[in-house]
Structure 1
Amino acid sequence: MQRLIGVVVVIAVFGAVGYWVWDYNTSPTGGKAKAEASQSAQAKEDATHDPEIGDCVTVEDPEGEPVPTVIDCDDPKAEYKMGERLIGAGKECGSAYDYGIQVQQSRGIDYTMCFTKV
């Protein structure tokens, strides 16, 4: 009788672990799917704050720690249009630009984003 109980407990434990692994890896609401969705959402959010040349932006906290957010150029909130990205630490935008944001990265290459008013 004790052997039967032991076997049932072992089967239940393996079944539970197997279900958890299956659910984590295959379920659209499981852990792996949630992690991938979170990473995708974070990548999309990061992209909205990393304009490319020609993108229009609005700048949050322009005098403190500026955060550019890419928006449509037809949007009335559009303040600046990105004209150039200068690679390297401490680069300054030329007189052709109205505003610049220096980006210092802990890993990667430092750069300066140069903008003209829209």
Structure 2
Amino acid sequence: MSAPPPYQNQPQQPYGYQQPPQQPYGYQQAPPQQQYGHPQPPRGPQRPQRPQPTLKHRLIGILVVLPLAAGAAWYMYDYNTNPHSGKHAEEAAASASAEAYEKKHVPKAGDCVKITGPDDSPEVTIVGCDSSEAQYKYGKTVYGGESCGAPYTTSITTTGRHTHYTRCFTKV
């Protein structure tokens, strides 16, 4: 008798070497069992799997989150665009406050003022020239290291991070 013909699609193995059989796709091998000694202890309790959210639960979530997001978007839009409230109202109040401060404490040429406060932080307040509080008459402002000059008797120098100026006054 003669030997059967070799299979056409099987790879040839070297003499004396046998390949272990392959498991089908998706097959998982069980963990090896101990042959001797005590059996392995069981694994700890496994957490139960949470059920997947249903369409009803997803719709409820959307119906809760969507109005909250729309409300936040409307608030931000209204805050930034409404001329009677929000950012514009804050800017108007700050502007009005700054204008009121300037009218009371930033003199123009010819305004009569009284100067109060300590020497290192004097405060100039505009008063009427016919008032008994009037101490000085504002003349001009000079910048940099310039001095006021001859007709002026009093000066207040202001030095800041980006500013350096001197306001010049004459006695009333």
TM-score where L is the length of structure 2? 0.56
- Which one has a larger percent helix, Structure 1 or Structure 2? 1
Question: Contact 1:53–1:85 at 8 Å: present in 2 too?
Answer: no
- Which one has a larger percent strand, Structure 1 or Structure 2? 1
Runs (5+) with no aligned partner, structure 1: none
Structure 1 letter corresponding to 2:153: D
Higher relative contact order (CA 8 A, sep 6+): 1
Aligned counterpart for 1:58 among listed residues 91, 100, 114: 114
TM-score where L is the length of structure 1? 0.77
Q: CA deviation at 1:42?
A: 4.1
Q: CA deviation at 1:46?
A: 4.6
Question: Structure 1 residue 36 and structure 2 residue 81: aligned?
Answer: no
Rounded Cα–Cα distance in structure 2 between residues aligned with 1:21 and 1:63:
47
Question: Contact 1:92–1:112 at 8 Å: present in 2 too?
Answer: yes
Question: Contact 2:83–2:89 at 8 Å: present in 1 too?
Answer: no
**What pairs up with 1:1-118 in 2 under 5 angstroms?**
1-25=56-80, 26=82, 28=84, 30-47=85-102, 48-61=104-117, 63-89=119-145, 91-108=146-163, 110-118=164-172
Structure 2 letter corresponding to 1:102: T
Q: Secondary structure at the match of 1:53?
A: coil
**What does the per-residue CA deviation read over 1:34-69, in whole Å, with 9 as the maximum and x for residues that have no partner?**
420342034225523332221221112253421212
Structure 1 letter corresponding to 2:110: G
Aligned-residue identity in percent: 37
RMSD in angstroms over aligned alpha carbons? 2.3
Question: Contact 1:58–1:78 at 8 Å: present in 2 too?
Answer: yes
Runs (5+) with no aligned partner, structure 2: 1-55
Alignment CA distance shift 1:14-1:32 (3 Å): same
Rounded Cα–Cα distance in structure 2 between residues aligned with 1:81 and 1:44:
21
Structure 2 letter corresponding to 1:111: Y
Q: Secondary structure at the match of 2:60?
A: helix
